[in-house]
Structure 1
């Protein structure tokens, strides 16, 4: 493997270690023993859930090819997964508000375990069923667990600022460290032990089963709206009204869809971008490097969220601009660096520059997740939290399905340009959200000045 990969990985690891070890009291949040116990329990469960998800990701496409399916059929399977998340996942995820978030989390485990079991079959219909189940599980993963956490956090009367600590740690471990370990563990099962491409799915099912046991034994149930006279259609209508009537919620949903849509598109684009001439690149090691960059971002986010200034609404504007610029790099290098005509070989100079840009984007992803969770906890109403969060994923899943269907229709540079534009639009919307969030404080100051000018009497003891 080329020295460049080790240098980037080692440099990121050193920076992450330095950030974590150099934290001062200003960068830490003082909490209670009860909260730490609650937080650690959630982090263990969330890490197990993410391990079940990360173990599968690198081997889904490869497993389908070993069963003899072509690119078109595999594309249809992937579209089925995102389509299922958009349609069935939205319904199942929304039931969490009424039927209970703990039940929804257990449903995630059962659904994803069943999806893993279907991978043992080479029948197209069975694999399609697995993708549908996986799509439902994905919706639950990104809504039910966060909804349970937020409701349980406030039910136990913990300080609101402590919630950001759980968010940042969950992303640091679940989307960073666990992702790296899962990639290495999956590689051990498939390549070292030669257990076959289905073995990571069996391991994922085991981790999910352990997590489900912890949920059943240690989590209490909480609800959004437990009223018996409110059906699913009424829940959808109430969520739609909440989004339409509150500009902050609508802006938050648009920002999330734009960023996550770009992020999922990036997942499909980074491999052909780094190896346009079939260059020999270590996909697993590059993936681990990206996850390390995401850990760097979550470490930065934990420092930012621990302080009252700058506010999350303010610094996220900068994050979106940086992420937009980083995805413009493939377009810039295509003009400034002469393309190589040779097939094969090592990574090109252009590819090296793009790796650095993609690591920057992944660092922005690491900052994005705990920050968007923090904003959702502030703006999304508790009684319809899961329903609204799944509403946010509808345009995201629709966008990814369109991209997958037309992935060969446009050059890679066009796709990256589109993502860059989306991220820049997200920064504009974030600026608007920040202005609205600050507006009440501005109005309060104006009212206080008016009262002072009118000479209202002061209460003197």
Structure 2
């Protein structure tokens, strides 16, 4: 298994490098956003954001292993994951408003404190304290994925008055660097946890200095900013709900997102116990997953630059993920644990992560085109509710007797969810084509009307 893990890591890494080089050539004019003042501002943001993200990635590979090391059963570990997911979605709906009203810099500082605290709480073997740590970690994660981006956008537009088009340049660079940091984090955790034999708690202690350093940079180099207008939480939620129900195409985006991303959350929990029988290097496995995601992103970039339809790419991502889960159903047959085909499971997970790499940029592109900007925050938050709800319900099934002696039935459920995602993707494509034809018809009618006037 170790030979396969390391072999797949190097093979996937080489393929990723080639794909990234090809994708780099397809990107927009590199001269865009080359203003020296902009680059300086960009670096000040990256210095903090990438430190925070690296600290977050360090906590990915060994979470399940840590709880298992403390002698908790699989169903008990599932509950810990559920608390983390639930706190993320509950606080995630409130975090952007809190950042706007109380100050984005303050919230970014609170992230470094809360996430450091959640790391320290993982030193405890108490189940109750570990639950508290998961809740605090979920709150911190919500802040990480809302306050930092909000701070940057405000400074970019309001303080420095840079062109709005340059925002995507920064986020594109951040996404690329974030991917490489994720790969690096897996390697680093593997070195400290396994090669240095410091145990599965070592990555969490390693994350704390990065969080502290990020907090120092925020407090010394970032200025405070607030929202110019006060948004009422209840009104925003109501408007978002109305926006979802106003158009079937928006509703369908939410359904696909809920189905696909809930499976991502389930896989995040399951990959460690599925591969654990052969004792792989979890950090290397994690890095392999991140390399596959980067490869998927590069493939999306290459194909979209050649004008491949984004809807087709989204359906393809769902189809590839579906195929990987079918393989996982076959490779996790619990009849005879000794005959579990972990090698097949590992390759299936790699395939799934490749699909994830295609899915996120495709979904992000479609969301930006279809969801009205004024309601994007509230609609996106509504989408996250079923994602976490489905993941929590499926993980809670581990308490049921028929699920306790193997994860095959969980993957059967994931397969069903992804089949629905593919069908919804086909329906979405038809709706998108219909919308485009309506838009073209309206444009043609407007042109004819102008032509008649003149």
> Does 2:236 match 1:232?
no
Instruction: State the match for 1:320 in structure 2.
Output: 318
From the superposition, tell whether residues 449 and 117 of structure 1 become closer, same or farther in structure 2 (CA, over 3 Å). Answer: closer
**Which whole-Å CA distance do the structure 1 matches of 2:427 and 2:104 have between them?**
32
User: Residues 147-180 of structure 1: CA distance to partner in whole angstroms, max 9, x if unpaired?
Assistant: 55566666645364x6555445434332x32222
**Which whole-Å CA distance do the structure 1 matches of 2:381 and 2:436 have between them?**
31
1:28-427 → structure 2 map (5 Å cutoff): 28-30=28-30, 31-34=32-35, 36-67=39-70, 69-148=72-151, 156-158=161-163, 160=165, 165-174=169-178, 176-219=179-222, 226-227=229-230, 230-274=231-275, 278-304=277-303, 307=305, 309-332=307-330, 343=338, 350-383=341-374, 385-407=376-398, 409-410=402-403, 411-427=406-422
Moved more, 88-97 or 203-212: 88-97
- Identify the structure with the greater helix proportion: 2
Moved more, 13-22 or 434-443: 434-443
Q: How many residues align?
A: 445
Unaligned ranges ≥5, structure 1: none
* Pairwise CA distance, 1:56: 1.9
From the superposition, tell whether residues 341 and 433 of structure 1 become closer, same or farther in structure 2 (CA, over 3 Å). Answer: closer
Q: Secondary structure at the match of 1:406?
A: helix
**Which whole-Å CA distance do the structure 2 matches of 1:452 and 1:84 have between them?**
51
TM-score norm. by structure 2 comes to 0.83
| Alignment check: 8 A CA contact 2:78 2:395 kept | yes
User: Residues 392-422 of structure 1: CA distance to partner in whole angstroms, max 9, x if unpaired?
Assistant: 2221222222122112643533322322232
Instruction: State the match for 2:10 in structure 1.
Output: 10
From the superposition, tell whether residues 443 and 149 of structure 1 become closer, same or farther in structure 2 (CA, over 3 Å). Answer: farther
| Alignment check: 8 A CA contact 1:301 1:371 kept | yes
Unaligned ranges ≥5, structure 2: none
RMSD of Structure 2 on Structure 1 (CA):
3.5
Instruction: State the match for 2:423 in structure 1.
Output: 428
TM-score norm. by structure 1 comes to 0.82
From the superposition, tell whether residues 147 and 243 of structure 1 become closer, same or farther in structure 2 (CA, over 3 Å). Answer: farther
| Alignment check: 8 A CA contact 1:171 1:369 kept | no
Instruction: State the match for 1:26 in structure 2.
Output: 26
From the superposition, tell whether residues 80 and 354 of structure 1 become closer, same or farther in structure 2 (CA, over 3 Å). Answer: closer
* Pairwise CA distance, 1:458: 6.5
Give the 4+ runs in structure 1 shifted more than 6 A.
451-455
| Alignment check: 8 A CA contact 2:62 2:283 kept | no
